Amino acid sequence: MTDIDPLVPALAGLLIDNLWFLDSCDEDEVDADSAVRALESAASALKELPPEQLDRFLLVIGNLTEAETDSGRRCRRTHGCAQPRTSERALSLIL
């Protein structure tokens, strides 16, 4: 398998964090229509990736999930869950 550039996990983490924010913020923080457009735009871009690139992206997300040690990042504020932010739940928002 091809080595993954260290920039990829950083950017993937930023993408997940921003999409998670858009999904969980209140309407007084971000306009709901704008949040939906941003989520749909990210989903569209990821769905256009060739299968091998999407597989590599999902591998990076899985690695980020396993490596996450910050309990504040592992838990959604609004639901108090113990689910990692980079989990399948976050990916389901965009894929």
**Global model pTM greater than 0.85:** no
Burial 38-71 (b: 16+ CB within 10 A, else e): bbeebbeebeeeeeeeeebbbebbeebbeeeeee
Give residue for tokens 């921003």. Answer: 18
Helices (H), 25-94: 32-47, 51-67, 71-74, 88-92
CB 74 within 8 A of CB 23: no
Q: Where are the domains of the chain?
A: 7-92
Predicted confidence at residue 19, as pLDDT, reads 86
Q: What is the pLDDT of residues 52-95, one digit of tens each?
A: 998 888 888 888 888 877 766 655 433 444 444 444 555 665 55
What is the average pLDDT value for the chain, to the nearest integer? 77
pLDDT reading at 7 higher than 80: yes
